[in-house]
Amino acid sequence: MKKQEEKQFEPKIVAFLCTWCSYAGADLAGIGRYQYPPNIRVIRVPCSSRVDPLYILKALQNGADGVLVSGCHPGDCHYIEGNYYARRKFLILKNLLEFLGLEEGRVQFSWVSAAEGERFSQVIKEVTESVRLLGPAKKMVKTLDMPEEIMRELMEEQKEDQTCPERHE
């Protein structure tokens, strides 16, 4: 049964793409009809340096199986030094995620220019395949799996609130 589930698993990947390079590269991939998996959901940002690490954590927490942040090649940033800041920020984030025990490959970073439609297509294929091999995300995902004791306590409190009118005043 597990093998069937793994074969059917299609990862959900959130991609933060720089408007000036990576998003334009995605556009060129579409215009050039380069095929890539439909697993990504694109969020267009002005610059890769504008991606707050909390956005990445929030995407994982809300059910994304993987996250890709892609921007201009270092030295080619529309905002001069933006991708240098991004590179430093993501190196620290990668170390934090490793410390938290998140599998390497769940969060990936790449540099794709506006003229690299074929490269964009290849990056998406590689990211999708690596996340597919990791399987569905289990860490950092919000769930309602609570121990039965806590669930009973919450249910009892709720019953008390409904039966005691003075608590509502």
Question: Going from the N-terminus, what domains does the chain have, and what CATH number goes with each?
Answer: 2-141 (3.40.50)
Which 3-state string (H, E, C) describes the chain? CHHHHHHHCCCCEEEEEECCCHHHHHHHHHHCCCCCCCCEEEEEECCHHHCCHHHHHHHHHCCCCEEEEEECCCCCECCECHHHHHHHHHHHHHHHHHHHCCCCCCEEEEECCCCCHHHHHHHHHHHHHHHHHHCCCCCCCCCCCCCHHHHHHHHHHHHHHHHCHHHHC
Q: Which pTM value belongs to this model?
A: 0.80
In this prediction, residue 1 carries a pLDDT of 47
Is residue 146 predicted with pLDDT exceeding 70? no
Considering only CA atoms, which of 136, 137, 156, 146 is closest in space to residue 57? 137
pLDDT digits (tens, 9 = 90+) for 13-40: 999 999 999 999 999 999 999 999 999 9
The per-residue pLDDT of the chain, averaged, comes to 88
Non-local CB neighbours of 47 within 8 Å, separated by 6+ positions: 18, 19, 20, 71, 72, 77, 78, 79, 82, 83, 86
